[in-house]
């Protein structure tokens, strides 16, 4: 039986999603709980590997098992076995041709900035604090240059191993909710650190260090060194993954949950 799971996690105390030796990872905790439920070793495949400190509210994984279990064993059962900062949001049997990574048609991230002169305490692990005022209107103006199919070399980590820097951004917006500035981005796929690198450059536009047209100049020059520094991991969330309707993957509310949902095609 092949099963898909929706996973939510606070990545603050993990060295990313991917299982690694000598460090704690989200994948390790999920596989440990699954192996107990199934009574045999289980390996999972995820829709998108997140870096150290990055969160997930819409991560999707799949695994295979010969154990005969009700889906409630993979939701309530796993949630009793895993740390409090990792939770299963849904469990769904899927066809054998479903693949959490390769069947995905798009991924969506949100970056949350707490834009206030003084730092907060309650949500400090889930947002990036930035004390200088950001002009979200200018940041939104800059977004238009990134939408569509482009070579994103200027926003790609130097050690990125993707075969091509070309990606297609379907949606990119910046909005303010009180003291929070939220960057919402959806694309067919992402390069390593792409969202955080785009965020860093948009923040410089929001500080009036650069004009919105500068984002287009960065795209055209294809030089990572010309763009801004990579934004911190703490504010980044993988919030949704799109799949063809044939797989019947459940739709769950986007996160972070205190922000309004934005309809995106």
Active site residues: 51
DSSP state of 165: -
122 Cβ contact partners less than 8 Å away, ≥ 6 residues apart: none
> Looking up tokens 């100049």, which residue turns up?
217
DSSP state of 77: I
CB-side neighbour CA atoms (13 Å) of 168: 5
CA distance linking residue 46 with residue 79, whole number of Å: 18
**Do the Cβ atoms of 101 and 59 come closer than 8 Å?**
no
DSSP state of 256: S
8 Cβ contact partners less than 8 Å away, ≥ 6 residues apart: 56, 57, 58, 59, 86, 87, 88, 89, 255
**Do the Cβ atoms of 6 and 90 come closer than 8 Å?**
yes
């Amino acid at each position: 039986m092949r099963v898909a799971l929706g996973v939510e996690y606070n990545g603050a105390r993990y060295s990313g999603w991917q299982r690694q030796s000598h460090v704690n990872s989200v994948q390790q905790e999920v596989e440990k709980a699954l192996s107990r439920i199934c009574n045999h070793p289980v390996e999972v495949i995820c829709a998108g590997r997140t870096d150290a400190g990055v969160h997930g509210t819409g991560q999707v994984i799949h695994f295979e098992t010969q154990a005969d279990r009700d889906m409630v064993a993979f939701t309530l059962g796993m949630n009793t076995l895993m740390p409090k900062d990792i939770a299963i949001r849904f469990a769904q049997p899927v066809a054998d041709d479903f693949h959490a990574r390769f069947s995905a048609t798009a991924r969506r991230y949100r970056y949350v900035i707490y834009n206030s002169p003084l730092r907060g305490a309650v949500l400090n692990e889930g947002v990036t604090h930035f004390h200088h005022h950001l002009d979200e209107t200018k940041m939104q103006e800059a977004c238009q240059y990134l939408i569509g199919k482009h070579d994103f070399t200027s926003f790609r980590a130097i050690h990125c191993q993707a075969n091509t820097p070309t990606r297609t951004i379907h949606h990119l917006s910046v909005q303010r909710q009180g003291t929070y500035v939220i960057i919402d981005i959806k694309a067919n796929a992402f390069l390593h650190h792409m969202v955080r690198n785009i965020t860093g450059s948009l923040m410089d536009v929001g500080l009036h260090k650069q004009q919105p047209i500068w984002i287009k100049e960065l795209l055209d020059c294809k030089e990572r060194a010309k763009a801004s520094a990579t934004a911190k991991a703490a504010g980044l969330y993988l919030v949704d993954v799109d799949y063809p309707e044939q797989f019947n993957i459940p739709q769950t509310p986007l996160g972070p949950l205190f922000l309004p949902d934005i309809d995106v095609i």
